[in-house]
Amino acid sequence: MKKALITGITGQDGSYLAELLLQKGYEVHGMIRRSSSFNTGRINHIYRDPHEKDVRLFLHYGDLNDASSINTLLRIVQPDEIYNLGAQSHVRVSFDVPEYTGEVDALGAVRILEGIRETGLNTRFYQASSSELYGKVVETPQRESTPFYPRSPYGCAKAYAYYITQNYRESYDIYACNGILFNHESPRRGETFVTRKITRAAARIKLGLQNCLYLGNLDAKRDWGFAGDYVEAMWLMLQQEQADDYVIATGETYMVRTFAEKVFARLGMPLEWGGSGDREEGVDTATGKPLIRVDSKYFRPAEVDLLLGDPSKAKRVLGWQQQTSFDQLVAMMTDADLALAEREMRANG
């Protein structure tokens, strides 16, 4: 039975990847952080008491900032594959906590790679690299050969992790891959990322639980896919003869405002746009009520205006194919958040 270790197992991607690896018959070990309230909500449905029979999912306390916890985990688990998904993953927040973001997102990766090198384990390593590496537009669509121009402390930290992963591959012959993943979303997406923030608020507005949604830059363009499709690509990268780096994307890009329009339209509240800049509003065409307003506090000191990825290498070499379209993603997330808002309303009486 193959053993995998996942950092960031409690996050969006970690939960989908753990499901996938369990389905494939792996023994799955996840690093979790101690927190004062439960942070395992995304994996509770697959977790079983380790005293039961045939349990294949095990959770261990640790932290990417704590090399000794990483080394202990490597020694006791001896994983065949490590997926390094743990990160301070919010770009806007990285401007508030730049040093911490570097510790976790940049040095976290080298702590694991050093652990692999030191223990001499024959472990394959996946690094969660990001389209934020591309940052300011140099060329589109962005592909493996496109130069990097990160625009945030998060992007800079991920650039270090990207290069150190390549460096350990070349220096020590470690099977180490970078998945350069473009934005991917799901009903399990953190609630402060823009897609989920929109679907959650729109559903609550629909049910009268909230009046208005405040957003930042409506004109940013993103290449949004479904997280469930993208974790398959992570696994495929570690099953090849040679380690390499791959872009995973849909090849389509949409503005934040388009995502919002589609969500509100699906809920029967088609929007029209009025005002401009900080005063721009998304107005309900039926009632004339502003449902979206712009708040400049959500603008970033430096923005990534346009992401559009070219996944042709992953298609050609890995045989990876996206399964979920943009419209299906919008529908899936909107419907899930409507159901959640309905539960919230029932709970409130």
Rule CB under 6 A: which residues touch ligand NDP?
7-8, 10-14, 31, 33, 35, 39, 63-65, 85-89, 104, 128, 130, 181, 183-184, 190
Q: Which residue number, 9 or 291, has a Cβ lying nearer to ligand NDP? A: 9
* Inter-CA distances, 158 with 73, 91, 180, 202, 241, Å: 23, 11, 10, 32, 25
192 interacts with, out of ligand GDR, ligand NDP, none, CB within 5 to 8 A per kind: ligand GDR
Count Cα atoms within 13 angstroms, Cβ side, for 57: 22
Containing 169, the helix (H) or strand (E) segment is helix 153-172
Q: Which residue number, 11 or 62, has a Cβ lying nearer to ligand GDR? A: 11
Least distance from ligand NDP to the Cβ atom of residue 293, Å? 25
Interacting positions 80-99 with ligand GDR (CB under 6 A): 89, 91-92
By CB under 6 A, tell whether 131 contacts ligand GDR. Answer: yes
Helices (H) and strands (E) in the chain, counts: 11, 15
Q: Which residue number, 14 or 79, has a Cβ lying nearer to ligand NDP? A: 14
Q: What DSSP string describes 228-239?
A: HHHHHHHHHHTT
By CB under 6 A, tell whether 68 contacts ligand GDR. Answer: no
* Inter-CA distances, 140 with 143, 149, 182, Å: 8, 13, 13
165 interacts with, out of ligand NDP, ligand GDR, none, CB within 5 to 8 A per kind: none
**Among residues 85, 220, 260, 314, which is the contact residue for ligand GDR, using CB under 6 A?**
220
Q: Tell me, what amino acid is at 236?
A: L
216 interacts with, out of ligand NDP, ligand GDR, none, CB within 5 to 8 A per kind: ligand GDR
90: helix, strand or coil: coil
Of 200-208, 217-225, 231-239, 315-323, the segment contacting ligand GDR by CB under 6 A is: 217-225
* φ, ψ for residue 85, nearest 5 deg: -100, -10
Interacting positions 234-293 with ligand GDR (CB under 6 A): 256
Angle subtended at Cα 192 by Cα 191 and Cα 193, rounded to the nearest 5 degrees: 95
Count Cα atoms within 13 angstroms, Cβ side, for 206: 24
- C-alpha to C-alpha distance for 215 and 318, rounded to whole angstroms: 37
- C-alpha to C-alpha distance for 44 and 63, rounded to whole angstroms: 20
CB–CB of 128/181 below 8 Å?
yes
Least distance from ligand GDR to the Cβ atom of residue 341, Å? 18
80 - beta bridge partners?
none
**Among residues 2, 60, 293, 300, which is the contact residue for ligand GDR, using CB under 6 A?**
300
Q: How are beta strands 254-255 and 271-274 bridged, if at all?
A: unpaired
65 interacts with, out of ligand NDP, ligand GDR, none, CB within 5 to 8 A per kind: ligand NDP
35 interacts with, out of ligand GDR, ligand NDP, none, CB within 5 to 8 A per kind: ligand NDP
Cβ-closest residue to ligand NDP?
11
Q: Which residue number, 15 or 123, has a Cβ lying nearer to ligand GDR? A: 15
- C-alpha to C-alpha distance for 327 and 311, rounded to whole angstroms: 19
Q: Which residue number, 12 or 146, has a Cβ lying nearer to ligand NDP? A: 12
Q: Tell me how many residues contact ligand GDR (CB under 6 A).
A: 22
Q: Which tokens go with 247?
A: 């872009």
- C-alpha to C-alpha distance for 264 and 187, rounded to whole angstroms: 16
342 interacts with, out of ligand NDP, ligand GDR, none, CB within 5 to 8 A per kind: none
Residues that bind ligand GDR (CB under 6 A): 89, 91-92, 130-132, 182-183, 192-194, 197, 215-217, 220, 222, 256, 298, 300, 303-304
